[in-house]
Chain A
Amino acid sequence: DAGVIQSPRHEVTEMGQEVTLRCKPISGHNSLFWYRQTMMRGLELLIYFNNNVPIDDSGMPEDRFSAKMPNASFSTLKIQPSEPRDSAVYFCASSPDRSSYEQYFGPGTRLTVT
């Protein structure tokens, strides 16, 4: 299995631009998570889906952030408009189901907003 796939691996954009991060979970996994990691705040859960339905988005920092999961094999995290404080590494993770104890993380997308 290829594991969780994220793209792009690196993104550099200017303030005000729209940014879209992509994630392909492991085939057969029903839960998908988006995390953000910064030096100041550590690793934070932004939102998670189960069977393509958003379950908890309380970690989404503000309305500029949105996430979708149109099908079981694809999810996006969009930031519009982006700001320098959004610079971070964004991780996507998936797990087999809601009762699973293990989350499988992707390699992350390093976002830099200038």
Chain B
Amino acid sequence: DAKTTQPPSMDCAEGRAANLPCNHSTISGNEYVYWYRQIHSQGPQYIIHGLKNNETNEMASLIITEDRKSSTLILPHATLRDTAVYYCIVCGFGNEKLTFGTGTRLTIIP
């Protein structure tokens, strides 16, 4: 599976949009981008996934560049409860071996 690179930490003001970047320059054509998050002392939680089109659900939006070498997870109106470690993962669809890197520790500032 392709390797991902994320900033180790980010801050965002409460109520503002949080934009979390992820680089995956070695992604292959059949690999998806998945985002999970882990709130302190809890198990990881699925957020969203995509192949090449932008995706949106009730939690977040996922913007994937045209060349698919990077993506951005957007939390449109961050709340204190969004403080967590966010993981960007690349793997083939149906490949259940999710490889969690170090992620981005997002802190929402009141």
| Residues in chain A within 8 A of chain B (CB atoms) | 4, 31, 33, 42-45, 48, 50, 55-56, 91, 93, 95, 98-99, 101-108
Contacts of A4 in B (CB 8 A): 43
Contact B97 A48 (CB under 8 A): yes
Q: How many whole Å from A98's CB to the nearest CB in chain B? A: 6
- Report Cα–Cα, A44/B87, bound state, in Å: 13
Residues of chain A contacted by B93 (CB below 8 angstroms): 99, 101
Q: Does B44 lie within 8 Å of A95, measured CB to CB?
A: no
Q: Measured between alpha carbons, how far is A104 from B46 in the docked complex, in Å?
A: 7
Q: Tell me if B94 counts as interface (CB < 8 A to partner A).
A: yes
CA distance A56 to B91 in the complex (A): 16
Q: Decide if the interface of chain A is mainly helix, strand, loop or mixed.
A: strand
A93 nearest CB across to chain B (Å): 7
In the complex, what residues of A have CB within 8 A of residue B41's CB?
A: 108
For residue A75, give the distance in angstroms from its CB to the closest CB of chain B: 15
- Across the interface, which residues of A come within 8 angstroms of B87, CB to CB? 43
Chain A residues with CB under 8 Å of B98's CB are 45, 103
Partner of B96, one of A43, A48, A91, A108: A48
List B contacts of A106 (CB < 8 A): 43
**A91–B43 contact, CB under 8 A?**
yes
5 closest cross-chain pairs (CB), A and B: A105-B43, A43-B100, A102-B46, A99-B94, A101-B49
Smallest CB gap from A58: residue in B: B97
For residue B4, give the distance in angstroms from its CB to the closest CB of chain A: 13
A42 touching B42, Cβ below 8 Å = no
Q: Closest CB of chain A to B55's CB: distance in Å?
A: 11
Q: Is the CB of A56 within 8 A of B97?
A: yes
Q: Are A101 and B43 in contact (CB under 8 A)?
A: no
Q: Are the C-beta atoms of A98 and B96 separated by less than 8 Å?
A: yes
Closest chain-A Cβ to B5's Cβ sits at a distance in Å of 15
Among the listed B43, B46, B100, which residue makes an inter-chain contact with A107, where contact means beta carbons less than 8 Å apart? B43
- Report whether B44 and A105 are in contact in the complex, using a CB–CB cutoff of 8 Å: yes
Q: Is the CB of B43 within 8 A of A45?
A: no
For chain B, residues 23 to 80, give those with C-beta under 8 angstroms from any C-beta of chain A.
Answer: 32, 34, 38, 41-46, 49
